[in-house]
Each structure stands twice: as structure tokens, then as C-alpha cells.
């Protein structure tokens, strides 16, 4: 996608900040990005932090973009789309929705039946170029548009295409919400280390580097996570002692229940906004 083609974000929240910030950090011209947001403070912060164009009116912003990224809460998506429906039929942009649980069928009903729609689920590390983004394209998305969406979002991290739309709820639960799970792990590790006598500063530094290093190993290795874990879990050693506690708490089952709950919540959001 050319850096001169304009992108419009409808909504100025955290997801927009992550994606817009990631794009600009990797060379996209801020002048090619438009954002609409109802809050004057949000608009001011976006303009100050990133140098993008900001708009109060969604339709004014939409008129400036060849690609619309719908980045509003699922609960208000219907009203926003109905407001933009005439503009969508007239301008026929490529539409990227990053709202959890909102389906292509719903977007077609609210915006127009013959529009090319890509659902995307980014996560907050996109702002650092380290995002994990799941994508699903409806049947009206051309090969060129699919490439365009992929190249746009690859600027903010890894992309993975999903063939069955219903599985986007799993993507939301895994990578969309996933950074929060890692932050919870980091928070818990730091607190435990402080309780065992480390200073808060040392606990923080060692925790962050440990998670970073482990992630790098996962990325660089062809071995599965289970094998990497077993390699550092010596019989009778310190890691084995910790692993026994995790096993006693059925850690893997807790994670499975958490992912299942987040997946189901995505489905509930869809049904609640149908």
C-alpha cells in the first residue's frame, strides 16, 4: 500500500493508538492518517502524539480514507455503521473492523451487503511493531484488497489469516487479550520475588528480561514450548519444585478455562449487538 493512500480510523481509543503509532513508527506518513473521536481531549492527544488529522464527525473522517478501520466498542458499532452507511455505499472503501465479536454478517446489514470487509484482531504490542493480528476476509475481498490489508497490518506485527470466521473469537481470546495474561504473569512473578526479599526494582528488571528472553527462545526455536520447558526442568531441581505447584493448581486447565471464557464472551458480544 502506498504511503500516500489515506487511512481513516473511526474511533480514537487504545487500539487506534497502537495501530496508528505502529504504522507511523515504521515510516507511514502521519499526514495520510485520519482519526475521528468524540472526545476533544482524545483528538488533541492524537494530534499532539502522532501528528495525524483528527475529526469530530465520523463522516468527515470517512470521506478522507480509502481504507476505513472501524475501531469503536462493539456496543456502539451498529449506530456508527448506520451513520456511515450512505458514505460506505458511495465511496466503497475497504473496511477493516477490529471490534471483538462483530461479524461480517452484522457489518453487511448495517453498512451495505456488497462491501469488502476484513475482520482483524490486533493487540497492543502493535504499537511496538510486535503485534499478533488475526485476519478474516469475506467473499467480496479481492486478492489485491487482501494483500493491501495484510501489508497494512504487517507494518505492526505478525499477521495470520483465519479461514473460518467463527474462529476469530478464539483469536480474540488468544492474542487479542493475551498481552493482559502475560502482564498478569509478570505482575505475579514480581510480587512473589519481592515477598521473597528482592527489591522491587530488581524483581521488575529480572522478570521483564526473563519473559523477553523466553519469548525470544520460543520464536527462534523449532522445538515446541513443552520441550523447551522440559529442558529446564531437572528432576529434583528448583524448576521442578515450582512446576509441582503449578501442576497441583492445574495451571493448564486454568489457562484453558480462561481462553474458553474469553472466546465465549466474544460470541456473547456478537449476539448482544445483533
CATH code, 134: 3.40.50.720
Give the residue from 218, 239, 215 showing the smallest Cα distance to 227: 218
Residue 171 lies in a domain: no
Residue 17 and residue 124 in one domain: yes
In which domain, by residue range, is 207 found? 178-270
Within-domain flag for 2: no
Co-location of 29 and 159 in the same domain:
yes
Quote the mean pLDDT of the chain.
93
Are 81 and 204 part of one and the same domain? no
Q: Do 69 and 159 sit in the same domain of this protein?
A: yes
Phi-psi region of 153 (alpha: psi -120 to 50; beta: other; left: phi over 0): alpha
Q: pLDDT for 185-200, tens place per residue?
A: 999 999 999 999 999 9
pLDDT of residue 1: 41
Number of domains forming the structure of the chain:
2
Could you tell me if 144 and 184 lie in one domain? no
Domain assignment present for 97:
yes
pTM: 0.86
Cell reading at 198: 528482592
Q: Identify the pLDDT of residue 58.
A: 97
Cβ neighbours of residue 142 closer than 8 Å, sequence gap 6 or more:
116
The answer to whether residues 186 and 155 belong to one domain is no
Q: Are 201 and 106 in the same domain? A: no
Q: Which residue has the higher pLDDT, 17 or 273?
A: 17
Q: For residue range 156-183, list pLDDT tens digits in order.
A: 899 999 999 999 999 999 999 999 999 9
Mean pLDDT of 29-58: 96
pLDDT in tens, 248-261: 999 999 999 999 99
Within-domain flag for 172: no
Within a domain: 30: yes
**Within a domain: 173:** no
Nearby residues of 15 by Cβ (< 8 Å), 6 or more positions away:
71, 98, 122, 124
- CA angle 197–203–204, rounded 5-degree value: 155
In a domain? residue 142: yes
| pLDDT tens string 64-92 | 999 999 999 988 999 999 999 999 999 99
Sign of CA dihedral 159, 162, 167, 169: positive
CATH number for the domain that contains residue 237 = 1.10.3730.10
Is 64 inside any structural domain? yes
Taking 70 as the threshold, does the pLDDT of residue 139 lie above it?
Answer: yes
Examine the domain organization and report whether 110 and 193 are in the same domain.
no
pLDDT tens figures, 5-22: 799 999 999 889 888 988
Same domain, 150 and 214: no
265 and 161, same structural domain? no
Residue finishing a domain among 139, 165, 191: 165
Amino acid at each position: 500500500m502506498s504511503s500516500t493512500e489515506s487511512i481513516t480510523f473511526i474511533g480514537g481509543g487504545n487500539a487506534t493508538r497502537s495501530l496508528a503509532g505502529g504504522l507511523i513508527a515504521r515510516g507511514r506518513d502521519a499526514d495520510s492518517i485520519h482519526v475521528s473521536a468524540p472526545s476533544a481531549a482524545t483528538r488533541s492527544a492524537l494530534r499532539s502524539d502522532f501528528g495525524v488529522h483528527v475529526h469530530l464527525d465520523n463522516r468527515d473522517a470517512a470521506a478522507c480514507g480509502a481504507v476505513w478501520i472501524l475501531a469503536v466498542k462493539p456496543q456502539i458499532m451498529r449506530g456508527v455503521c448506520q451513520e456511515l452507511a450512505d458514505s460506505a455505499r458511495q465511496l466503497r472503501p475497504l473496511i477493516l473492523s477490529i471490534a471483538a465479536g462483530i461479524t461480517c454478517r452484522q457489518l453487511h446489514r448495517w453498512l451495505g451487503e456488497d462491501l469488502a470487509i476484513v475482520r482483524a484482531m490486533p493487540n497492543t504490542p502493535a504499537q511496538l511493531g510486535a503485534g499478533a493480528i488475526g485476519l478474516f476476509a469475506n467473499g467480496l475481498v479481492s486478492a489485491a484488497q487482501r494483500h493491501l490489508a495484510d501489508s497494512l497490518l504487517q507494518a505492526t506485527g505478525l499477521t495470520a489469516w483465519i479461514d473460518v470466521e467463527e474462529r476469530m473469537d478464539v483469536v480474540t481470546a488468544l492474542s487479542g487479550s493475551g498481552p493482559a495474561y502475560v502482564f498478569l504473569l509478570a505482575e505475579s512473578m514480581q510480587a512473589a520475588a519481592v515477598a521473597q526479599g528482592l527489591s522491587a526494582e530488581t524483581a521488575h528488571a529480572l522478570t521483564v528480561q526473563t519473559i523477553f528472553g523466553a519469548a525470544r527462545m520460543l520464536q527462534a526455536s523449532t522445538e515446541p514450548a513443552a520441550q523447551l520447558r522440559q529442558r529446564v526442568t531437572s528432576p529434583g531441581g528448583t524448576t521442578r519444585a515450582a512446576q509441582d505447584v503449578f501442576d497441583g493448581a492445574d495451571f493448564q486447565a486454568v489457562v484453558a478455562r480462561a481462553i474458553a471464557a474469553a472466546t465465549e464472551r466474544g460470541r456473547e458480544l456478537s449476539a448482544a449487538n445483533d
